[in-house]
Chain A
Amino acid sequence: MSGKDMRTAGGGARAAYRVLAIVVMAGVALQVAFVAFGAFGMLSDADDGVTVDGAYDNLGQQLHSFGGSALAVVVLALLVVSFFARVPRGRTLAGVLTGMVVLQFVLAMTAYSVPLLGTLHGLNGLAMAGVAGTAARRASRAGQPEPARAGV
């Protein structure tokens, strides 16, 4: 592979990195929306006489559960892409996000019996959006010409 090809591939990977990081941010926003959908859905069902017990779930909760797995896949993809993309601290940020995803699953599982941990699950989720935002910004800046970067 020639040096030019490498640069082009690096630029493509950087664009992919940026898109994946933005998808993580958007995904976190959707996850928050699904939680609210699920909570209000449960209250509405309870008002309608639906049995809300251990076996209960609703569309909002199902979307949130599916969204969690989908976000994990996106973050893994981001981690892989980070090794091809030339983004300052790009690998570190992707690694941190991967760790936060693992923590998110652990918190989700333990929160069933210790609901208070659900608050950390929510905060960790928002923090993920923050880290993904930083990652996306770094990828945009890295793509800009040198002078612009120097001016920051």
Chain B
Amino acid sequence: MRRRRLLLGVAVALAVLVPLGWLWVTSLVPGSYAPMEMGYPDYGGGPAGSMDHEHHHGGTAVADLTGPRTGTPDVAVTLVARKETLTLASGERVDGYTLNGSSPGPLIRAREGDLVQVTLVNESVSGGTTLHWHGVEVPNAEDGVAGVTQDAVPVGGLHVYRFVAGQAGTYWYHSHQVSDAQVRGGLLGPLVITPRAAASVRDVVAVVHSYDRRRTIDGRTGQSRVDVPAGTRVRVRVVNTDDSLLRTGVTGAPYRVVAVDGRDVHGPAPVDGAGYRLPAGGRVDLEATVPSDGSALRLDAGGSATSLVIGPPGARVPSEQLGKDDVDLLTYGTPAPAGLETEHPDRRFEYRIGRRPGFLDGRPGLWWTINGHKYPDVPMFLVAEGDVVRMTISNGSGQPHPMHLHGHHALVLSRNGTAATGSPWWTDSLEVADGESYEIAFRADNPGVWMDHCHNLPHASQGLVTHLAYVGVTDSFRIGGDNHNDPE
């Protein structure tokens, strides 16, 4: 009787410990691995083509998918990255990262079609750094993702990025090496591409970033001012560089949402008092006219405590708060041809986000899953150049996720089964709330290996990352290894 009880006890102990041990061991991530070896291929119902997942011979190498190697750049910038204690524009001192001595880094301004050349010099960012051009459809080798499109630039090293400025719009750049810590520490800056014809609108760039957990606009805490004469039409380019959704909007006059993620909105109607929910990594251009009655405009960044007052010196600051309503891009604006035939896609993918307890690289916790799989055993979405791709992103993980696909813009087709009826809604940073499901479509027109991840960067470092890869493209870069590449 006792012996049977003991045997039962041992059996139960083994029944608990053996699966736990097995789960622990199989969760371990190798010290060095290629992104292409990660997980399992998902062809989305399309042909596997010449590529097979374990086979890396032939085809185009990521390292060869560069921008123009010759030609005199129209915009040439050198950015020196440092890890240091920095003084915010509003005076506070925080430990972080700077580019050319400041954070946010300098505004890079280019015109459509300009050849842009940025030389990144790493002076003192231990562990290495890179620059990723968030939202810009650069050639793959210029994408700046350590371990996927380049090696992290070590201290004393430099890397030259060259690309032709594409569609006019608001973008930003940031490190994609240990990006959770480096972006939080301020290794980032704005990038604006303007049409070749001069615009009749006054541009105001508002980079929203939290330093040491204090939210700033262009590095200033609290309320700051921009002097603009009364009657001026202003285009405020709001960039959310933080990890979670930012509620923004203009008070003091009606505003229009004229562009989202660097793509113009068709037929934007005036918005009076409603807010705009800007996903992490996303950008929105809000246009309004400074009133002529001696008052100013106020742009809020998550409440009026952090705001930008835009108007003549001494102008009265509007006291009203943003209302409860929010602009919904599913219905905002007027329809127009999107230039993408989405009825008969070449591939259909599912990107289903969940969460479950388990181990990630040996650490116990609650971890994100993609289509039921934990990092690094996640699907690798494979496409061929020219494919029209439909993807359903659904979220049942309990928390919202701002999803960012590198190198492409996607058209939002529907949310929770309700078709989009407003302006064509192109995005590169899409907020998918818990319980929501979005159907998006894009043309696979930029060969390479592209990250497709959550831009709540701690979530990405917890494994909410996968890749979109083109058949026939090979990638020799490795995560980990001698270069200590660690993109998240």
Interface residues of chain A, those whose CB is within 8 Å of chain B, are 1, 3, 6, 10, 45, 49-51, 53-56, 69, 72-73, 76, 79-80, 83-84, 105, 109-113
Contacts and interface: CB of A to CB of B under 8 A. Distances in A.
B261 interface: no
Nearest to A70: B364
B435 interface: yes
21 contacts: A3-B2, A6-B6, A10-B2, A51-B214, A51-B302, A53-B242, A53-B245, A53-B302, A54-B244, A54-B399, A55-B210, A55-B458, A72-B357, A76-B16, A80-B16, A80-B17, A84-B5, A110-B398, A113-B398, A113-B434, A113-B435
Decide if the interface of chain B is mainly helix, strand, loop or mixed. mixed
A120 to B, nearest CB: 15
A76 B366 CA distance: 17
B234 to A, nearest CB: 25
Interface in B279-308: 302, 305
Contacts of B433: 113
B399 A53 contact: no
A19 B302 CA distance: 48
B462 to A, nearest CB: 12
B243 interface: yes
Contacts, number: 72
A54 B400 CA distance: 9
B375 to A, nearest CB: 18
B213 interface: yes
B25 interface: no
B13 A56 contact: no
Nearest to B354: A109
B373 interface: no
B456 interface: yes
B12 A79 contact: yes
B175 interface: no
Contact of A55 (B242, B364, B365, B435): B242
Contacts of B364: 69, 73
B9 A49 contact: no
Given A50-B214, A51-B215, 7 more contacts: A50-B213, A51-B213, A55-B242, A83-B5, A113-B398, A113-B399, A113-B434
Contacts of A76: 16
B88 to A, nearest CB: 13
B221 interface: yes
Interface in B230-257: 242-246
B13 A112 contact: no
A55 B12 CA distance: 40
B213 A54 contact: no
A69 B359 CA distance: 11
Contacts of B434: 112-113
A1 B245 CA distance: 63
Residue of A6, A49, A51 with most partner-chain B CB within 10 A:
A51
B8 interface: yes
Contact of B399 (A6, A10, A73, A112): A112
A12 B398 CA distance: 42
Residue of A49, A83, A84, A111 with most partner-chain B CB within 10 A:
A83
Interface string B1-42: 010011011001100110000000000000000000000000
B271 to A, nearest CB: 22
Interface in B405-461: 433-435, 456, 458
Contacts of A10: 2
A84 B9 contact: yes
Nearest to B303: A51
Nearest to A105: B357
B229 to A, nearest CB: 32
Contact of B16 (A49, A79, A105, A113): A79
